[in-house]
Structure formats: C-alpha cells, structure tokens
Amino acid sequence: MADNAPANPTGNTAPVTELTADDKTGESFRFSPRGVPVIVGLNRVGLHALYMKEVRRFLKVQTQTIWAPAFTTLLFLVIFTVALGREGREVLGVPFASFVAPGLIVMAMMQNAFANSSFSLLSGKMQGTIIDLLMPPLSSGELMAGILAAAVTRAILVGFAVGLAMALWPGVSLGLAHPWAVVWFGLMGALLLATVGLATSIWAEKFDHNAAITNFIIAPLSLLSGTFYVIENLHGVFQTVSRLNPFFYVISGFRYGFLGESDIGAADHVVAAGLGLLALNAVLVAGVYALLRSGWKLKS
C-alpha cells in the first residue's frame, strides 16, 4: 500500500482503489471499492470504544456502583455473624464469619454484573438513544462482547472492594487455598449474570421489567444458594432444589478457593462444577448472540 494511504484503525487491510481530486488540490485519496467493507475482521477500535464507554459510565458514579455494594455486603456479614456466628460457631471447620465472607463477595460480584449489563440497552430504549449503539460499525458479537466485558470489569472491582472491606473486619480470614478456583468461579459467576442481564436488557421495555427480574429471580437465587449455610443441613428435597441452582455452584466453588472445602464435594466435583458453568455460559452467550442478531425488540 502506498505511503499516503490512510491507516486502517483495526489493523486489517482491504482492497483499495485510487480516486484523484483534480478539481481542488490534485491530491490522491484511496477508498474501498463499492461493496467492499473498509473494516474487515474484528473492529478493535470500536470494541474498545464501547468497552470504555460502559466502564466510564459506572465509574462516574463509583460511590453508588462500587463502594455502596461493598458497604451493603459488609452489613450482611455483620448481621449474620451476630445472629448466627455467636459462641464460636464453626462451619466446614472455620469460623462462621470466614465461611460466609467468600459467598458474600461473589454474590455481590454477580448482582453488580447483572445490574451493569441489564442497564446498557434498556437505558437506550427508554431515553431514545438506542440508535447510538446500533448504528456504529459493530457486529452483534462485538456489541455483546463490549457490554459483557464492562459488566465483568465492574464485578471484579466490586469483588476487590468487598474483599478489602471484609479482610479488615475482625474474625474474617481470607487466605487463598486454591487461587485458580477463586479466579475461575468468580469469572464464571460474573459472566453468567452479565449474560442474563444483557438478555433482560433486550427483553425489557421499562425499568419495572428489569426490577421484576432482579427482585423475583436474581435475589432469591442468590440468597437461597448456600451463601449462609451448607446444603447438607437441608431436607433432601431442598438439597435437590439447591443443586439445580447454578448460583450454588458459583458460590460453593468460589468458597472452595478460599477455604479448600465446599459442600459441592471433593476436588474432582469442584472441577466438574466449573466445567458445567462454562458449558452453561456458552449456551447463554450463544442464545443472547442470536437475539442480538435478530434485532428482537431492538430494531422493530
């Protein structure tokens, strides 16, 4: 390509044809032939721009999006420790506060991943600015990747904030027994709820719809997932119901990373649970991608 050809922002190249503006400057310009896309492959510049837009959106109000969840989750720890952790109660061989803390951390991560992605497209619908996301030269996969990546980023920041708050709380020990489990189950949980949140954002037509999913699905699944107890203390039927809840595997696997123990079972069961979450996320991502490509409730 000639030295005077403009750089392709994506780093990819496409066939070009030369046109000369003889009427004014006489300079040569290069344009793509008709029907040949200028951007081929991954639009890295557009994807990065969308990701940074979503990240800056929640960082502008970080007191509400990062630090408030840490404070609220710390209140959960205080209340349940006072109510259930008296007289040196231990669960899975550790003090009750240390047992509860990992579950609260990943629960806050998941809930905030959902909150971030569920707001992205819905806010555009309500404010009439959805065209700003649909018009740029971003494919459905790139649009989904940018929104999900930003939601996972918020989840990670919330996780660090909550973990810091709990590490400073008396009686809580957050030693890492299996760091890979903390990283894997934290990411799987955040991606799971980010994907569900994006699906909700596509389906919802008003903020009441979003709130209904949060209050009647996300919150119950989070609180009834073994965050504050081990499921072996439940009746057999409720144990079965708990094992059908994907949140249970996220929280128990994440706790395994800190304590080296969980109510999933032995280490091979924890690995199987991690692979199962990966498969579930793959199915959900494929489903949401199909919804975005169809334009359902976005372009009609």
With CA atoms as reference, report the closest residue to 46 among 8, 6, 14: 8
Q: Tokens 């959902």: give the residue.
A: 114
Q: Tokens 């009439």: give the residue.
A: 128
Give the number of C-alpha atoms closer than 13 A to the C-alpha of residue 141, restricted to the C-beta side: 5
Distance set, CA 113 to CA 19, 137, 184 (Å): 48, 25, 15
Residue 176: the pLDDT is 92
Residue 37: the pLDDT is 64
For the chain (300 residues), the mean pLDDT of every run of 10, in chain order, is: 47 48 53 68 92 96 94 89 72 88 95 95 89 90 97 97 90 90 98 97 93 94 88 83 93 95 91 97 98 87
Q: How far apart are CA 97 and CA 100, in angstroms?
A: 5
Give the number of C-alpha atoms closer than 13 A to the C-alpha of residue 83, restricted to the C-beta side: 9
* Distance from chain centroid for Cα 229: 25
Q: How far apart are CA 94 and CA 261, in angstroms?
A: 10
Q: Tokens 């408030």: give the residue.
A: 68
* Distance from chain centroid for Cα 211: 18
Q: Is 87 exposed, middle or buried (0-12, 13-18, 19+ CB in 10 A)?
A: exposed
Please tell me the pTM assigned to this model: 0.86
| Contact residues for 283 (Cβ-Cβ < 8 A; gap 6+) | none
- Under a CB-based contact definition with an 8 Å cutoff, are residues 246 and 277 in contact? yes
Residue 241: the pLDDT is 86
| Eight-state DSSP code of residue 54 | H
Q: Could you tell me how many residues make up the chain?
A: 300
Residue 217, SS3 per DSSP: helix
Residue 3: the pLDDT is 47
- Under a CB-based contact definition with an 8 Å cutoff, are residues 133 and 150 in contact? no
Q: How far apart are CA 112 and CA 106, in angstroms?
A: 10
| Eight-state DSSP code of residue 49 | H
The helix-helix angle for 140-167 and 44-59 (nearest 10°) equals 40
Residue 233: the pLDDT is 79
DSSP string, 138-206: --HHHHHHHHHHHHHHHHHHHHHHHHHHHHTSTT-----S-HHHHHHHHHHHHHHHHHHHHHHHHH-SS
Return the structure tokens found at 105. 């951390």
* Distance from chain centroid for Cα 132: 22
Q: What is the residue type of 276?
A: G
